[in-house]
Structure 1
Amino acid sequence: MGYRYKQGGEKTLLLIHGNMTSSKHWDVFMESFDSDYTIYAPDLRGFGISTYNNPIDSLDGFEEDLKLFVDKLGLSKFDLMGWSTGGGVCMIFAADYSNYVDKLILLESVGTRGYPILKKDEKGKPIKGEFLKTKEEIAQDPVQVIP
């Protein structure tokens, strides 16, 4: 699991990126952020320089990776900031491992269930309130071209 690091003070901040991005998107933020903080910005599985040897089925897989990451580095109390998909990962992590997280910061975050994708009827119109729930359902959902 690849990550970016900025040495700082005794406070620790973890930055979790969004979908289709990587830790690279935190560079400007990390350069200008308060020097009282030591900052870690991991690349989620399959993003940046992190490998994707085992597929992810939900945000829970990213949460498990984050837990392994903080334990490997010996981090036990930190502030956690997530952007977009990273926000969903952070919320799940904070709920399951609240003893690790001092502050939770969300920036344009998705929910804990990820992106809501509506099922479609036989004409390709979205069905209100009915969501695709699994990777298999999403893969089988016909792609509709909007004229």
Structure 2
Amino acid sequence: MAFTDIGDVRLFHTDDGSGDTTLLLVHGLGSDSCEWVHHIPDLATRYRVIAVDMRGHGHSSAPGTGNTPRRMADDLALLCAELGVESCVAIGHSMGGQIVSHLAVEHPSLVRALVTVDPGYGFAGATAEYLPVLVERMREDVIGVSLGNEEWTATAATPGWLREWHRRRILATPPHVLLQAFEAMFGGPDAMGLRPASEAYLTRRACPVLTFWFDPAQAAWEAGLFKDPHSKAVLWEGSGHRLHEERPGEFLIVVTNWLRSLP
């Protein structure tokens, strides 16, 4: 079935392909699992691929509370148990990078390896000072601020269709979900999106990590946190925030080659 009831939420998910390795695909804030349509057909020829609409997103239900990355990670652990998944490679973009990192730290026996794509953590300096300000602004105009925040995600090379697709996904996401998730990432008491909280939490990831960044400073910073020798930071300068959607073919090559290199 495409829907599974997990506690207070009903999750939509797809389950394609087969193989000894299961890939768990996790989208970003204000998106859904359609974010992976360019990747699923190819990956499903080699792996079992599970793509999920996180709580409050896409076709999954939107509880009034609990729409945070930590809770979403717990949802994934419960979903994996329902689907008979004992080990997986968790792949997360943006907020999804936080979610899969929570999954790896809090459920280490489940996560064999991580792939994070321009993840929503590790911000410092002026950006770190500005993100809590955005949280306060979102309280007054969630959709307007969320759409405005989209401006930094693209470059001149980002296709117009991709910008429009994500604009429409934001418009389709319940405002309370956008606010709760964003605040939990950058403004709440357990937020791990800003340094030094990011460093304290991410160093608890013991598994191999492959991370993609368009910012050289962020890539170098995360490389310094790796615990497993098979971990790797990939820098794609000139890409936008959704680099896996802008360059899906290259993304698939890098990810599959890295997965093959793991013990």
Same fold flag (TM > 0.5): yes
Shift of 1:58: 2.9
Shift of 1:77: 0.7
CA distance 1:133–1:2, change in 2 (3 Å): same
For residue 81 of structure 1, the aligned residue among 87, 91, 94 is 91
TM-score normalised by structure 1 residue count: 0.74
CA distance 1:45–1:112, change in 2 (3 Å): farther
Q: Where does structure 1 lack aligned partners over 5 or more consecutive residues?
A: 121-130, 135-147
Matched pairs, number: 123
Judging by fraction of residues, say which structure has more helix: 2
CA distance in 1 between partners of 2:22 and 2:58 (Å): 22
Matches within 5 A, 1:46-125: 46-56=56-66, 58-111=68-121, 117-119=131-133
1:31 is paired with a residue whose SS is helix
User: Counterpart in 2 of 1:41?
Assistant: 51
Q: Where does structure 2 lack aligned partners over 5 or more consecutive residues?
A: 1-10, 135-185, 190-263
For residue 27 of structure 1, the aligned residue among 37, 55, 78 is 37
Shift of 1:35: 1.7
TM-score normalised by structure 2 residue count: 0.43
Judging by fraction of residues, say which structure has more strand: 1
CA distance in 2 between partners of 1:107 and 1:76 (Å): 23
Does the aligned pair in 2 maintain the 1:92–1:112 contact within 8 Å? no
CA RMSD of aligned residues (A): 2.4
User: Counterpart in 1 of 2:187?
Assistant: 132
CA distance in 2 between partners of 1:71 and 1:43 (Å): 17
CA distance 1:132–1:95, change in 2 (3 Å): closer
User: Counterpart in 2 of 1:18?
Assistant: 28
